[in-house]
Amino acid sequence: MRTPALPADSWLQRPAHLAWLADEGMRLLAFAKASRVEAGFAALDACGRIPVNPCAELIHTTRMTHCFALAHIQGIPGYADLVDHGVAVLQDALRDAEFGGWFVDATRRSGKSAYLHAFVALAASSAAVAGRPAAQSLLERAIIILEAHFWSEQEGAVRESLSRDWQQEEAYRGANSNMHATEAFLALADATGDRVWLLRALRIAERLIHGHAAANGHVVIEHFDQHWQALPDYNEANRADPFRPYGSTPGHSFEWARLLLHLEAALQDAGFAAPGWLADDARGLFARASRDAWHADGTPGLVYTLDWSSRPVVRARLHWVHAEAIAASAVLLRRTADPIYEDWYRRLWEFAASHLIDRQNGSWHHELDSGNQPASRIWPGKPDLYHAYQAVLLPRLPLAPSLATALAAV
């Protein structure tokens, strides 16, 4: 596949814009450094402070380790020790030495989820590409757990969650965990050279996107029972859940659109025939999500969730949704050179600069209300570097290989 040449006036070609992205990345990294605690990395408040009695959670520790590894790979001083700290706690304080896998947080809260273990694999693969000591050992542990407990060859997808001893399984399947497994599998393919991870990622995408979402008007169905029957009313009583909200989540459509194109490019680079539906479904997902979620309630920005008639349910504007839309528009623009994605890319960055980027206290506001004012109903504080940081990196990189490997090759 030869990607078309971008027009000379594309922001992706403009040195000043690329420099702005790099500067914003440095600003995000500097803010996130304060998250280090003894047992990993903890959530920061809106001003970048560690709360009293912080608890290092697996989600923050893995995402921070991944991002700090990306910084180190780029040759930015001051992040190697943070990567090593993350790897060390993932090898010790957060690891379940008795049953294998990783605890939810440093209080040793148990329950093993594919979502969190995918981030362990992502962090380990990025740290390994960064050449950090002990990262390879962590990567090998993560692969063993994924293959032994989460990957289902029969289903062509990952199982959702299990008890600490792996004996009880949740009777649920989720698109979110499988989406992040797809991301992790792309990284694992690059870090290990084992192409089986690409084929597994393709099977996930074929089930969730080409099977369910494409048949649903390119709206991602998030919740399923154990037999992959859709659960459209799931969490109707808890509509604003940060991980399993009711209805459709347009931010995941953007994220999936990007991952489909990364997968397409990775398959082709590995010598596989990439099915044409990967690019077609990526376009369909972006078109539907941008049409339904932008300005959905009469105010600029992308709403968090929609019902099955495409009406807004949770009207909050979350930073990660916009970060993923930015990244998806950049990837689609690079893949197609279609000016519609240039328009979206510029529109989304203008929105982020006007409403999400916090020049006073640092990082990005993680949540805005329906009037685009800072809020904290769903995401208090600023605990997440991952989405915004990847949004400033991906526009500068090719479609494949995955982030850490691509940065190492620059």
DSSP-assigned states of every residue in 208-248: IIIIIIHHTTT----EE-TT--B-TTTTTTSTT-SSS-SSB
What pLDDT was estimated at residue 3?
82
Cα(362)–Cα(88) distance, rounded to whole angstroms?
A: 28
Residues belonging to the active site:
252, 387
Cα(247)–Cα(119) distance, rounded to whole angstroms?
A: 24
What pLDDT was estimated at residue 1?
63
pTM: 0.98
Q: What are 361's two structure tokens?
A: 């206290």
Q: Name all domains of the chain by residue range, CATH numbers in brackets.
A: 11-409 (1.50.10.10)
Closest alpha carbon to 317 in 363, 288, 291, 356: 356
Cα(380)–Cα(167) distance, rounded to whole angstroms?
A: 34
| Regions of the chain where pLDDT drops below 50 | none
Cα(195)–Cα(200) distance, rounded to whole angstroms?
A: 9
What pLDDT was estimated at residue 110?
86
Kindly report the CA angle at 94 between 92 and 95, in degrees rounded to 5? 65
